């Protein structure tokens, strides 16, 4: 006879992950932890992880708690114990893996940016729409939506606390490419990454701007630059040396930094800065939203805080106040620690896993969807086009509403 505990246990959701590096480790943490913190309607099971290097993927599986390791993502998709495929690979394989998984009847979580090109993103969004009719769901991993302070900011804006929005400002600054001797990686090659700081960092702040405002960007004017145009290649003692004995160098084919302004559908203005060349800035994402009734500001380096100014208060006492977003009433916080006990970056992936599991169990559309990812991709493409034309205002093609 089964125990009452086993009878009450929720059904399992077998997760298979493709890729196991930085994002793979972060996603593993999310899947491993979500069911231990939140009372989920389905229990995520880390069924298998896939990667090309057999020894490395087996080590990653052991380190992060995956039951099995595969060296071919097609084999992972074919597994009967995998119902959801989590894509954590470079952008050049997002479309192929995600579409194959959806067509095989799996749910899909795909890391951002959704793809390397608008055409790939369009194919992915179309595949997700077809799969939705069969009951499969697809979500893109813009994890910063899951920062409790940002989720709370979205709630305040949606409630009208800022009134009509006037303008938003977002920056995302890193410095890991400042040193010109830093070696060439896949993130610096267009064929693998699609773009540089624009796609890597700019995708996040474009998504946040549209998410917080609740409306799309309809046009942009941009500048972009590659400051270090060649970098050393480290591929082993022989392949990585020139005839003169120095490190062989190859061209960097993506941007180092991108600056652009934009206009939201309502007419509100937006400005963006994304760079991996800002000395001293490690992971500095900042945003401010200004409206007729007030303003909000957030700094990722103070992840548990939100600054809020209520402009309807008397001028003598009005000003920005610091909200410590750790109360049970704040998004996601009821399941965590007592008030004042801070969360961190890793928790955004736990929240992401929770939201997707709950959507799958309810048969509800997850957010951000592949359509949302496509909208971001269209903005990124418009930014690149504008930059190529020296900051010419470039309209962003909009998704067509279903008849």
Per-residue pLDDT reduced to its tens digit, 7-61: 678 999 999 999 999 999 999 999 999 999 999 999 999 999 999 999 999 999 9
Rounded to two decimals, the pTM is: 0.94
The CATH number of 11-144 is 3.40.50.720
CATH class of 147-395: alpha beta
Which ranges constitute the DSSP H helices of 269-366?
347-362
Helix (H) or strand (E) holding 219: strand 217-225
Residues contacting 113, CB < 8 A, separation 6+: 91, 194, 199, 203, 373, 376, 377, 380
Low-confidence ranges of the chain (pLDDT < 50): 1-5, 237-238, 240, 243-244
Q: Tell me whether strands 257-264 and 217-225 are parallel, antiparallel or unpaired.
A: antiparallel
Domain with CATH 3.40.50.720 in the chain: 11-144
**What is the pLDDT at residue 236?**
56
Burial class (CB in 10 A: 0-12, 13-18, 19+), 201: buried
Residues contacting 225, CB < 8 A, separation 6+: 255, 256, 257
Question: CB–CB of 208/371 below 8 Å?
Answer: no
**What is the pLDDT at residue 383?**
98
Residue 389, both tokens? 């034309």
Domain with CATH 3.30.360.10 in the chain: 147-395
**What is the pLDDT at residue 238?**
41
**What is the pLDDT at residue 1?**
33
What is each CA distance from 5 to 2, 44, 276, 384, in whole angstroms? 8, 17, 50, 55
Backbone angles phi, psi at 80, to 5 degrees: -70, -25
**What is the pLDDT at residue 135?**
97
């Amino acid at each position: 006879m089964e125990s009452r505990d086993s009878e009450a246990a929720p059904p399992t959701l077998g997760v298979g992950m493709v890729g196991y590096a930085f994002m793979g480790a972060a996603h593993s943490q999310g899947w491993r932890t979500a069911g231990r913190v939140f009372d989920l309607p389905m229990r995520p099971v880390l069924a298998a992880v896939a990667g090309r290097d057999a020894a490395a993927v087996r080590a990653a599986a052991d380190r992060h708690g995956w039951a099995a390791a595969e060296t071919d993502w097609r084999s992972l998709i074919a597994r009967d114990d995998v119902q959801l495929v989590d894509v954590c690979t470079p952008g050049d394989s997002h479309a192929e893996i995600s579409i194959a998984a959806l067509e095989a009847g799996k749910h899909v979580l795909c890391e951002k940016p959704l793809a390397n090109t608008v055409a790939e993103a369009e194919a992915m969004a179309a595949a997700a729409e077809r799969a939705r009719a069969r009951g499969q769901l697809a979500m893109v991993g813009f994890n910063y939506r899951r920062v409790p302070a940002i989720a709370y900011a979205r709630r305040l804006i949606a409630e009208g606390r800022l009134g009509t929005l006037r303008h938003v400002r977002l920056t995302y600054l890193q410095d890991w490419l400042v040193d010109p001797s830093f070696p060439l990686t896949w993130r610096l090659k267009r064929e693998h990454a699609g773009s540089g700081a624009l796609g890597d960092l700019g995708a996040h702040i474009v998504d946040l701007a549209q998410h917080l405002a609740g409306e799309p960007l309809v046009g942009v004017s941009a500048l972009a630059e590659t400051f270090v145009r060649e970098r050393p290649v480290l591929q082993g003692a022989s392949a990585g040396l020139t005839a003169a004995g120095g490190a062989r160098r190859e061209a960097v084919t993506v941007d180092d930094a991108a600056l652009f302004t934009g206009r939201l559908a309502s007419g509100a203005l937006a400005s963006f800065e994304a760079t991996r060349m800002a000395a001293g800035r490690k992971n500095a994402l900042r945003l401010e939203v200004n409206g007729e009734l007030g303003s909000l500001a957030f700094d990722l380096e103070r992840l548990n805080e939100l600054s809020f100014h209520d402009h309807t208060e008397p001028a003598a006492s009005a000003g920005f106040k610091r909200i410590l977003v750790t109360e049970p009433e704040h998004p996601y916080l009821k399941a965590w620690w007592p008030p004042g006990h801070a969360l961190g970056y890793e928790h955004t992936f736990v929240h992401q896993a929770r939201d997707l599991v709950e959507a799958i169990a309810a048969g509800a559309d997850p957010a951000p969807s592949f359509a949302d990812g496509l909208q971001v991709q269209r903005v990124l493409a418009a930014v690149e086009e504008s930059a190529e034309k020296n900051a010419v205002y470039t309209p962003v093609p909009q998704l067509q509403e279903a008849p």
